[in-house]
Each structure stands twice: as structure tokens, then as C-alpha cells.
Structure 1
Amino acid sequence: MTSVFDHVPSDFRLLSVILTIIGITVLVNWTVIKVINRLESSKLTTGSIDKTALNFIKRLISVVIYGAGIGACLTHIPELKIVGHSLLTGAGILTLVSGLASQQVLGNIVSGFMILFFRPFRVGDRITISGNYSGTVEDITLRETIVRDFENNRIIIPNSQISSEVVINANHTDNKICKLIEVGVGYSSDLEQAMAIMQDEIGKHPLLIDQRTEAQIRDNVPLVVVRVTDLGDSSITLRAWAWADSPANGYVLQCDSYLNLKRRFDAVGIDIPFPQRTISFADGARVSVATTDSNEGSAS
């Protein structure tokens, strides 16, 4: 007894099988990702799911599903067996070339797993990489980490490179930040008055937070500590330590403090000097100064 499929051409049957496998692969991937997205939307707000790990897992699952689908398609194509036998003659060269070509890719994937496992940073963290790149982590893929800088540019860094660099994470375990506010005042200025103004102006900023311990409060440690840190060539450097609850608020606190301090110093006559150089000439030295005639435009 023959079935209806026996009268169908073999090429059409093969094409039908491959299309069926591809359709099942796409459907399975769509279903799995859909379930994960629903889990993300329902649980992510509670903090029970790490978005960084979830994005990484979704991409990994898609790669595995599509890889399995492609492998299943290839097993149903007899012609590929002949191609495989012909490739065996150059197996040594092919293995060497494949190894060299995939070394960097595999290194990025392994580094991505290390980033996911040890979590030096997560999606949403504000990081600085070796002092060259700064921004917010936007995504971590199998191959690279995407960082959005403060000009809204996307910096794409391979995982193998970022895992070997020094990373400064402003959000790792603690979002608070200490901003150093330094101002140089003239040697003739009243230092006590300048330090009191810095404590007052910075201390009343709404974004400043109190980082003092109970013991420091009992010992009357000021909310804003100001110290002399340098006796420069033309100014005395005063430094204040100001705390904010996030890097963004810390930046605003620092900028506002510089503006407010400049206004207060000008109001009471505290000088913020700039570098000056005095040139002395030996007795009898002849100095020529070029002047320009504004009418004729000639120099004499």
C-alpha cells in the first residue's frame, strides 16, 4: 500500500521538510522569547530578576535554537555529505583557519559569561573604562558591551577587551558619590572667612546629603569639611568634600557650588587669582616694543 507522499517528487519533499524545520525553529524561538518577555515585564519591577542576565540569556537561547534548527536542516540534505568528504582533504588547514578566525569571537563570548557571572557592572550602571570611555551601560550581548556616553553616542566595546581593562563603576553596591570642590584664593584673603563661606554655600545646597556618623555628629564635625590642600605659586587651594546620592546629582551639586562660591567671594572681596608672571630686566637693557598705527596699519 502506497501513501500519497510516494507520488511527491523527492526534491519537493526535501524542501517541505526543510521549510517545516525552519518554521518550527522560528515558532519555538518566538514562543520562548515571548515567555521570557512576559516574565521580564511581570517580575523585573520587583527586583527579583536581573535585566542584564535576562538579555544575555535571551540571546544565548536564540543562538542555540537557531543553531539546532540549521543543524537539523543540514542533516536532511544528502549533497552536503559529499561536500563534507571533499573538505576532509583540507581538514588540517581548515581547522587552523577556523581556530584563528574564531579565537577572538570565542574570547568575547567567554568574557561575556565572565561579566555575567562576576557582575562587575550591570545594565544601567555608570562606568568609566581605563579613563577613556565613560557612560551608562545600555546592553551586554554575547560579543560586546554597549555604553551610551553623555553625548548620546553608543560606544561598542568587545567583551574580551572590557574584561581586561580597569572599570570604574559609580553604581556598584552604592550609588552615593563624593565630589571634590576646589577653589584657589589669594594669599591676602581671609582664609577663615573663605572656608566658612564654602561650608555655608555647599551645606545649604538641596542635593547635599549628610554622610556623618552619629559619633561625628556628637563631636560637632561640620557637614561640609573644608581644608587647605596646597600653597601654590599664586593661590592657596581650599578643598571641600560634598556628598550626593547619585553621580548625576553630584555633578549638579559641584557646578552649582562653583557658581555660588564665585558670587559670594566677589561680594565680600575674596580674590580668586589667576597665574601671573613678573619679568625683570637688567639695568641698561634695551627693550623694543612694536606698536601698530591704527590708521595706516603699519608697525613701527
Structure 2
Amino acid sequence: FTVIQIASLSNVLSKFANTILMSSSLVVVVIGFIFQEGLSNIVHGTIIALFKPFDIGDRVEVVVAGEKISGYIKSMTLRHTVVLSIIDNAESIIPNSLLDNTTVKNLSKQSSSKRYPLTVSITYEDAQTEDKLKLAKRLFSDAVFENKNTVDVRDDKNEDLFIKVDLAESAVTLTCFINTKTAEDNYIACSEIKEALLEKYHEAGISFAYNHLELTGGLRILEGEEKVMQKKSSSHNSGKNAGNNSGNNSGKNA
């Protein structure tokens, strides 16, 4: 009888142990699933820390989940990286797993000057006059180097800036590269250069090209409307005359 009891107790303990093991396995799976993303961020954070594609204070551009984020690296941890936006000064907390698996454009790793293109458009009428086209290019070059935020990268300081000329559908475009120390300086410089060109081109009689709608055949439409109005007026007067004549005749007959 004692042997039977021991055997029964052994079966119960065995089932209990199996239940505990199954429950433990389930808990491990659940915990692993929960911490999978966190562990992944730590692994990718370690990779970023080792290879250092960027440092704190660097200006970067990155696309995360279809959203382009442009700003400065504020802080880095093994789990995430904080980017301070240059647009609205908001902080974007980016998981390292996403950051390590996307393309990061580090603008701070570029050359000492920041270079961006600036394009303006003038009319074909002015561009087809050789003197005006040359003048437009020279004034563009002057406006660039007169700006305090631009960096002069010319080897020969007596040469004008190279201005690329393109033939667009409804305008002739003039493009040159604006070099500045920082991206923020470039943003300001481009705006100030455009303002300067508005004044310079106006004084030189050079017109900017812009989209506008020109109506033709308006005189014909007005002439047609005038004829219709004349017909209506004639009909109206005829009706009045007929009424007056009828009244006069009736009076005479009476």
C-alpha cells in the first residue's frame, strides 16, 4: 500500500513539474517577445557607438518610417538617439534599430563650406539680348560675393562666379552654387541674394520670368457683344416706335 502511495505521489509530482516547465517556457517566450525590440535597440546602439557614423552636435538628415528628419544629434543612448529638429526645435526620439537600418546623411562630415544651388529665371526676351544676358550673370555674381554670409572659393578672385544657363519651357534659368560656412548661413544668404537681385535687375531693366495667363481675341468678343447689344437696342426702339405710331394713329382716327 505504501508503494502504491509513493507511485501515485510520484505521478502527481511529475505532472506538476511538467506544468511548471511548460509555464516557464511560455513565460520565457512572452518575455523574449516583449524585450526583443529593446534588445535589438541595444545591439544596434552598440554598433552605432563602435562605428560612430555621427557624434553629438552633428547635423544629420535621416528618413524614418517615411518621415524626413533634419536636425542636430542631441544625445545618444544604447536604446535610442535624440535628434533636435531645425524646423520646429522638436526632439525626435529614434530607436537605434531603425536608425542603424536606414541611410543617415551627416552634413557635418562634409567639407568646410556648405554648398547649395540657387536658381533664378529671366525672360527669353532679355536673355536673347547678349548684353543683357551677360549683365544678368555679372549682377548675379556680384550679389553672391557682396553677401556677408557667402564663402569665396574662387582661385582667381578677379573672375566672375560661374553661372549655369538652362533653357526652360517659359524662361531662361541662371544657376550657381552658394558656399557658406553653415547650412543656416546658406539659408539666410540665398534669401538675401534674391532680395539683392530684385533691386539689381530692376535697375538694369532685366525682367524675371513668371507664369501668367494672356488672353487673346478679347476685342472680337467685345465686338460681338456690342453687335448683339445694338440689335437688342434696335428691337427695343422699334417696339417703342411701333407703339407710339399706333397711339398716334388711334388719336388721329378719333
TM-score by length of 2: 0.69
Structure 1 pair 199–87 and aligned structure 2 pair: CA distance change class (3 A): farther
Do residues 181 (structure 1) and 118 (structure 2) align?
Answer: yes
Instruction: Give the match for residue 101 of structure 2.
Output: 164
**What is the distance in 1 between the residues matched to 2:190 and 2:20?**
65
Alignment of 1:61-100 (within 5 A): 88-100=21-33
Instruction: Give the match for residue 123 of structure 1.
Output: 56
**What is the distance in 2 between the residues matched to 1:173 and 1:234?**
36
Q: Could you say what secondary structure the match of 1:120 adopts?
A: coil
Instruction: Give the match for residue 234 of structure 2.
Output: none
**What is the distance in 1 between the residues matched to 2:42 and 2:56?**
17
Of 75, 79, 82, 1:143 maps to: 79
For the aligned residues, what is the CA RMSD? 2.9
Q: Is the 8 A contact 1:207 1:244 kept in 2?
A: yes
* Structure 2 unaligned spans of 5+: 1-17, 127-131, 226-254
Deviation at 1:192, TM superposition (A): 0.9
Deviations 1:226-283 (A, max 9, x none): 111x3122211100112112212222211211111112112222111211244567xx
Deviation at 1:104, TM superposition (A): 1.0
**What is the distance in 2 between the residues matched to 1:242 and 1:268?**
23
Of 183, 186, 211, 1:250 maps to: 186
Deviation at 1:221, TM superposition (A): 5.1
Instruction: Give the match for residue 241 of structure 1.
Output: 177
Structure 1 pair 170–278 and aligned structure 2 pair: CA distance change class (3 A): same
Q: Is the 8 A contact 2:113 2:151 kept in 1?
A: no
Deviations 1:61-94 (A, max 9, x none): xxxxxxxxxxxxxxxxxxxxxxxx9964412212
**What is the distance in 2 between the residues matched to 1:253 and 1:236?**
22
Q: How many aligned residue pairs are there? A: 198
Q: Could you say what secondary structure the match of 2:175 adopts?
A: strand
**What is the distance in 1 between the residues matched to 2:73 and 2:125?**
48
Deviation at 1:146, TM superposition (A): 0.8
Do residues 208 (structure 1) and 137 (structure 2) align?
Answer: no
Deviations 1:72-125 (A, max 9, x none): xxxxxxxxxxxxx99644122122212221111111111111211222211111
User: Greater share of helix residues, 1 or 2?
Assistant: 2
TM-score by length of 1: 0.59
Deviation at 1:195, TM superposition (A): 0.5
Q: Is the 8 A contact 1:120 1:172 kept in 2?
A: no
Instruction: Give the match for residue 134 of structure 1.
Output: 70
Counterpart residue identity of residue 159, structure 1: N
Counterpart residue identity of residue 201, structure 1: A
* Structure 1 unaligned spans of 5+: 1-84, 289-300
Do residues 195 (structure 1) and 134 (structure 2) align?
Answer: no
**What is the distance in 1 between the residues matched to 2:104 and 2:213?**
41
Deviation at 1:217, TM superposition (A): 3.0
Instruction: Give the match for residue 7 of structure 1.
Output: none
Q: Is the 8 A contact 2:145 2:152 kept in 1?
A: no
Q: Is the 8 A contact 1:147 1:156 kept in 2?
A: yes
